[in-house]
Structure 1
Amino acid sequence: MTRFRRRACIVLLLLVLFVCSLMMGLKTLMPNTAAFGNPFGLGLLPEFHQRNAVLESKRDPQSSAGDEGAITQKNFHNIIRSGSKATMATQVKLEDLPPPNYDFHVFYYTWYGNPRFDGKYIHWNHPLLQHWDAKIANSFPKGRHAPPDDIGSSFYPELGAYSSRDPSTIETHMKQMRSASIGVVALSWYPPGMADENGESTDDLVPIILDRAHKYKLKVAFHIEPYKGRDDISMYNHVKYIIDKYGSHPAFYRYKTSTGKTLPMFYVYDSYITAPEMWANLLTTSGSQNIRNTPYDGIFIGLLVEEKHKHEIHRSGFDGIYTYFATNGFSYGSSHHNWSGLKDFCNSNNLLFIPSVGPGYVDTSIRPWNSQNTRNRVNGKYYETALSAALHVRPDIISITSFNEWHEGTQIETAVPKRGKVVYQDYLPHKPDLYLELTRKWAKKHSEEKKLWLM
């Protein structure tokens, strides 16, 4: 009997140890355990398209939901489970939101439209882009997406196929950003009357965006897109336009330099397509269109894709570098292992280095042939790896790609499960605000780390 009891105790002890080991192993997969300085092995990222059968069974088949194809909070409760809590960004009050970190900037797009507010769908019906090699192009589908159930994204927004002109959408977006402790909205901007090839002009939305941003104590910087005719002369005129029209608004972002100046910041997308000599006309004191030491001076941040761009950016007279892309390994600038060298280069040349981090990347909904550049989210691990790599180089500012670039799957905006003719990826088993929560966590970590850097 004694021997039997001893054996039973040993078996029970082994069972307890097994369960504890299993729980610890599972816990390491949760985003909230990722630690600074201990990045997840990016080379081992698994394909993350498989669905858990149990979670699949909890999803409701989706049908057309009217003009906007919106999924309401009530429907989302039914999809996940009864009694689940509302997402953080839609439930909290203004006074309960965490403080903004003005060193966390997020790229924001206002190019979406739907029939209710715009008379038609815009961008959600994005065309399938063809590969430049005809032989490859012929192997993939052609045409356009058909909202609201079929949109140009691999994820589906909690707000549905929304319009960027909907005041309630803008309000919700600003609240979500503030709930994530983001401080600066880097607004994608085209001059009045201009737009990308799939969109329409949105400069008239800037005033309401500034107003709503101010309500949540956010600031707005301008992310200037490569519009037709962008050169030193047009840039001077458009920077002047932005500052004259919006510069007096309390939400207009200004960066305090090491010399004590406070100047507006402009991100310049695809800056490398313009010759450094032309930028130097605008951004150096000897240039023919010199903007320096005038009322329209600013902090101009150029995009680095290739390594040679760092020298071109410096020669152009830019004040800093950002990397934009959320695909680790896609370009020299987006590769995390190059950030330390880029930071050293910037330090040596009195430039700001602003690494861009993202939660993942998938653009096969609009570029079906581009699966090799997909970066799976791995339940938030990919995002935390990028944030960890960024903090490691001690940047003054971290930029996030993106709040809502749905076409490229880099959004941190809330997303929900949706099934129908199209099956979308989602953030399950986590809540729709997973990436807002992770951003808030790392914004706080950055604030705490920065205090130590300055000691």
Structure 2
Amino acid sequence: MLPYKVAFHIQPYKGRTDRTVHDNIKYIIDKYGNHGAFYRFKTSTGKILPLFYIYDSYLTPPEDWANLLSSSGSHSLRKTPYDGVFISLIVEERHKDDIVSGGFDGMYTYFASNGFSFGSSHQNWKAIKTFCDINNLMFIPSVGPGYIDTSIRPWNNHNTRNRVNGKYYETSLQAALMVRPEIVTITSFNEWHEGTQIEAALPKKTLTRMYLDYLPHKPDLYLELTRKWAEQFNKEKEQWLM
């Protein structure tokens, strides 16, 4: 068995609709569904289904998503070989009801900058989780080690979040575990241009950019923190299920 699995993150693209996503899902499952690295999630009903994250899902009206994700939809994936666990992005508070009416199975927050959006604000996670529990949805909080994207978005300095030698990451992880989620996502492994990478890093400077490293800590600081909190997460999940 492969130690790592891959779940698909479906980005917006020109002409993306519920119908094109229907075709995307069929293509992905037909082409990769039997691969050992294809991630499947065991639901509360015991089904084992592929899990898909739909980024910027709010760009499509909820009634269109319902055609795809509700059991009575005109081109529904439910109760077909292409059924799955479909996770919507929550940015604004009003998106919660749209996610329910669209037929999604849950919501995730994605952004690594605490306070950037309603969904990515740690202080809102408890209320979002309560909403999800009431509506039988998964809540998947997203965490990150920090955030700085001013090299590509010079105007966005107000969303910079200092790493504080790993403390920001650990605070994010602690906030996520506090709401007892089934899954926690990490944004990201290697997005250096947004300062959210957790991969091993050595000091690096070019003519146009100074890359952030983790000095005075070891290059694998954030991988070690990830291991530590993943182990903690697994231990706590066992206790929640007792």
TM-score range with shorter-chain normalisation?
over 0.9
Structure 2 SS opposite 1:301: strand
**Is residue 321 of structure 1 aligned with residue 107 of structure 2?**
yes
What pairs up with 1:81-100 in 2 under 5 angstroms?
none
TM-score (norm: length of structure 2): 0.97
Aligned to 1:436: 223
Aligned to 1:279: 65
TM-score (norm: length of structure 1): 0.52
Rounded to whole Å, the distance in 2 between the matches of 1:446 and 1:310 is: 26
Rounded to whole Å, the distance in 2 between the matches of 1:414 and 1:232 is: 38
Letter in 1 for 2:218: K
**Is residue 445 of structure 1 aligned with residue 241 of structure 2?**
no
1:349 equivalent among 135, 147, 150: 135
Whether the 8 Å contact between 2:180 and 2:237 is mirrored in structure 1 is yes
Greater mean deviation of Cα atoms: 365-374 or 239-248? 365-374
**Is residue 307 of structure 1 aligned with residue 101 of structure 2?**
no
Letter in 2 for 1:390: A
Letter in 2 for 1:346: C
Rounded to whole Å, the distance in 1 between the matches of 2:24 and 2:130 is: 32
**Is residue 382 of structure 1 aligned with residue 165 of structure 2?**
no
Whether the 8 Å contact between 2:199 and 2:222 is mirrored in structure 1 is yes
Which has the higher relative contact order, 1 or 2, with Cα contacts under 8 A spaced 6 or more apart?
1
Select the structure of larger CA radius of gyration.
1
The verdict on how the C-alpha distance between 1:262 and 1:420 changes in structure 2, with shifts beyond 3 A counting, is closer
Rounded to whole Å, the distance in 1 between the matches of 2:95 and 2:210 is: 39
Number of aligned pairs? Answer: 241
Rounded to whole Å, the distance in 1 between the matches of 2:212 and 2:19 is: 44
Q: CA deviation at 1:420?
A: 4.9
Structure 2 SS opposite 1:311: helix
Q: CA deviation at 1:343?
A: 0.4
Q: CA deviation at 1:251?
A: 1.2
Letter in 2 for 1:417: P
Letter in 2 for 1:415: A
Q: CA deviation at 1:418?
A: 2.1
Aligned to 2:212: 425
Q: CA deviation at 1:416?
A: 1.4
Deviation string for 1:207-231 (max 9, x for gaps)? xxxxxxx65x111110001011111
Rounded to whole Å, the distance in 1 between the matches of 2:43 and 2:221 is: 33
1:240 equivalent among 4, 21, 26: 26
Letter in 1 for 2:23: N
Letter in 2 for 1:287: G
**Is residue 267 of structure 1 aligned with residue 53 of structure 2?**
yes
Whether the 8 Å contact between 2:195 and 2:212 is mirrored in structure 1 is no
Letter in 1 for 2:145: P
List runs of 5+ in structure 2 lacking aligned partners. none
Aligned to 1:330: 116
What pairs up with 1:378-417 in 2 under 5 angstroms?
378-417=164-203
The verdict on how the C-alpha distance between 1:315 and 1:329 changes in structure 2, with shifts beyond 3 A counting, is same
Structure 2 SS opposite 1:445: helix
